[in-house]
Amino acid sequence: MQKRKLGKSGLEIAPLVLGGNVFGWTADEKASFALLDAFVDAGLNAIDTADVYSSWAPGNVGGESESVIGRWLKSNPGKRDKVVLITKVGSEMGPGKKGLSAAYVAEAAEASLRRLGVAAIDLYLSHWPDPETGYAETLEAYEKLIQAGRVKAIGASNLDAGQLGEALKVAKDEGLPRYEVLQPEYNLYDRGKLDGPLLALCRGEGIGVITYFSLAKGFLSGKYRGEADLGKSPRGGGIASYLNPRGFQILGALDEVALNHDAKPAEVALAWVMAKPGVTAPIASATTPEQMASLVRATTLTLGEDEVAALDAAGV
């Protein structure tokens, strides 16, 4: 499977990234191990998580996803070299444990490394902007982690064009490592945060783009067609806002293209993101073997120009 470069980091990933937010939440440890095995055995290699996953679940405190991945790696020692581990820092992990200050980045990185059970994080992301900490302080903290061999490359999530541009300028002016990857929200329905100046900046600077909510929280799977369907998943409550004429128009276009390829709507939605110029790969999660098989099939689906145009038009 052809891999794509993540900016100028030297890291390469297959065209789909596995979302680890479900590990320790909607996928228990046994199911998570099976999903991770199937993902890597299919030739895919990048796993995305964060220290805060999945603190929102009852009884969880954060760190559950990283811990599951760490135990999977420990039980599969030969697979560490086959995966690119992506995790994030900055979301609240308890009183005083939040943000991108130098002290907290150093502390949080060591905690993530312990949970993952690895010597180095392949790609470490600033999860959210931190208005209380200057870019230079954060990038200097990352520089120390890189020099110590604890982090290989850095990136950021949820920055707009102005914020990313300023971070890149500070890195250049101060001789500090720059963000090589951006992780924005992006899918057939939600395009506004990436399309335009932000994507243009990433393409111009050679920054890798890994999209999250690539299936619009599951809406683009096609299994949510009305209010009665929202109870099908613990995430159903976040999908109600998509149940509108524009959302149904997008589902209709997905259905039509999926029929042409004997594919599922989710596979077409992911293939559309993969085909977007400037996007390195979408993130998608799975909780069952059937969903994992569908993610793998999405990486082999090639859309025609007319199909891409029809999908583009459906969401306008």
- Residue that the structure tokens 């900016």 belong to: 7
- Residue that the structure tokens 């599922």 belong to: 264
Q: Residue 149: count other Cβ atoms within 10 Å of its Cβ.
A: 9
Catalytic residue among 53, 179, 212, 224: 53
Hey, what are 228's tokens? 């009665």
Hey, what are 115's tokens? 């949970």
- Residue that the structure tokens 């993610």 belong to: 295
Q: Is 120 left (phi over 0), alpha (psi -120 to 50) or beta?
A: beta
In terms of Cα–Cα distance, which of 311, 293, 305 is closest to 16?
293
Active site residue 104: no
Going by their DSSP bridges, the two strands 151-157 and 181-183 should be labelled as parallel
In terms of Cα–Cα distance, which of 35, 52, 58, 44 is closest to 12?
44
d(CA 187, CA 194): 10
Active-site residue numbers? 53
